[in-house]
Amino acid sequence: MVNAAGKFGPYNQPGPAPTTSVIGVGHARASLGGQSGSDLVRSRIALRIRLRSVQPGDRLPDAGVLAEELGVGEITVRRALEGMCQDGLLDRRRGRAGGTFVAQGWDTVVALMHDAEEASSLDAFHLLLECGLVAHGAGEVPAERLDGLRVLVEETARTDDPARLAELETRFHLDLAEALGGPGIREFAADLLGRLCLLLPAPQPEVVRAQNGCHAELLTELGRGATDPAVQAVKAHQRSRHR
Q: What is the mean pLDDT of residues 135-158?
A: 92
CATH 1.20.120.530 residue ranges of the chain are 114-241
Tens of pLDDT, residues 22-72: 222 222 334 455 578 899 999 999 999 999 999 999 999 999 999 999 999
Neighbours of 37 (CB within 10 A): 23
For CA atoms 191, 192, 193, 197, give the dihedral sign: positive
- Kindly tell me if the per-residue pLDDT of 241 is higher than 60: yes
Closest to 166 measured CA to CA, from 123, 196, 126: 196
Tens of pLDDT, residues 92-144: 999 878 899 999 999 999 988 888 899 999 999 999 999 999 998 888 888 89
Tens of pLDDT, residues 188-221: 999 999 999 999 888 999 999 999 999 999 999 9
CATH 1.10.10.10 residue ranges of the chain are 1-111
Residues in Cβ contact with 53 at an 8 Å cutoff, skipping those fewer than 6 apart: 9, 10
Task: Specify the pairing of strand 90-93 against strand 99-102.
Answer: antiparallel
Tens of pLDDT, residues 163-191: 999 999 999 999 999 999 999 999 999 99
The CATH superfamily holding the domain 114-241 is GntR ligand-binding domain-like (1.20.120.530)
Q: Which CATH architecture has domain 1-111?
A: Orthogonal Bundle (1.10)
Whole-angstrom distance between the N-terminal and C-terminal Cα of the chain?
A: 39
Phi, psi (5° rounding) for residue 36?
Answer: -75, 170
Give the integer Cα–Cα distance in Å for 134 and 179: 10
